[in-house]
Amino acid sequence: MADLENEIDRNLQLLKGMRKLGVRWKPGHAIPTYTGRMTPKQKAEADKLYDAMSDKFTDALAERSTELIGERSMGKLTRTRRDIKRLMGGKRRHSGGDPDVVDVLFRVVKAGEWKGTVEAWFPGLPGTNDYYRDMLTYAHTGQHGSGDIDYMQQKTRNAKPSEYASLKRELESLGPEPYKLRVMKKMTRKHFEQRKAACH
């Protein structure tokens, strides 16, 4: 239990550091949102802090609104810390959520002809009927397509907020039905079940 407390303290300090730089963390997001007032230097510093956070902590933030972190109310901060501790400890309480919200992984191609290209991968949406191997993707060039999961895991990396901001805005403004996105860092078993259900 002491190790968990220390891990929470470490991650909360990183989060507070990001907020001081101007970062805002929206409810349901596993990746932060950088504001337009942030300078390139502030964004680079925030990227370093974000990379130092643990996956369990960012997953917990995806289930808990963290706009409370950094506010003056210690009562609110205490309640937030209690929820994060519960989520990081494995006692996860899932809610139905908004059925129109789509989970997305923003990834950057690491090498080759398309090095540096930012892509959106939708882990809960199949690209073809082969839901074991692929999922729906989207990029500035080529728009919607199908992507191989092994390729995503081996040839791409998680995009930083400053890298995927433009693509995210594009997806959220597509007509006639723009995406309502929840940014994630990794796939879960739930996403596999969603792809499977969509193909049956």
Residue 112 CA, distance from chain mean position? 25
DSSP secondary-structure letter at 97?
-
pLDDT of residue 99: 61
User: Within a 13 Å sphere around the CA of 195, how many CA atoms are in the beta-carbon half?
Assistant: 24
Is the domain of 110 the same as that of 175?
Answer: yes
Tell me the percentage of the chain whose pLDDT exceeds 70.
72
Distance CA 138, CA 141 (A): 8
Is the domain of 62 the same as that of 126?
Answer: no
pLDDT of residue 65: 46
pLDDT tens per residue across span 12-24: 888 888 888 887 7
pLDDT tens per residue across span 123-139: 999 888 888 889 999 99
Question: Residue 25: pLDDT band by 50, 70, 90 thresholds?
Answer: low
Neighbours of 96 (CB within 10 A): 5
First to last CA, the chain: 43
Distance CA 84, CA 92 (A): 10
For residue 35, tell me if it sits in a domain.
Answer: yes
For residue 108, tell me if it sits in a domain.
Answer: yes
pLDDT of residue 198: 87
130 or 34, higher pLDDT: 130
Is the domain of 80 the same as that of 107?
Answer: no
pLDDT tens per residue across span 142-179: 678 899 998 999 999 999 988 999 999 899 888 777 88
When pLDDT is averaged across residues 113-119 and rounded to a whole number, the result is 93
Tokens coding 196: 């499977």
Number of domains in the chain: 2
For residue 94, tell me if it sits in a domain.
Answer: no
Reply yes or no on whether the pLDDT at 27 is more than 70: no
How buried is residue 40: exposed, middle or buried, by Cβ count under 10 Å (0-12/13-18/19+)?
A: exposed
Is the domain of 107 the same as that of 191?
Answer: yes
Is the domain of 112 the same as that of 74?
Answer: no
Neighbours of 102 (CB within 10 A): 17
For residue 191, tell me if it sits in a domain.
Answer: yes
Omega within 30 of 0 (cis) for the link into 176: yes
Is the domain of 84 the same as that of 122?
Answer: no
- On average, the pLDDT of the chain sits at 78
For residue 153, tell me if it sits in a domain.
Answer: yes
Is the domain of 111 the same as that of 167?
Answer: yes
pLDDT tens per residue across span 59-97: 666 555 444 444 444 444 455 566 666 656 654 333 345
Is the domain of 192 the same as that of 142?
Answer: yes
Quote the domain boundaries for residue 23: 2-88
Is the domain of 11 the same as that of 61?
Answer: yes
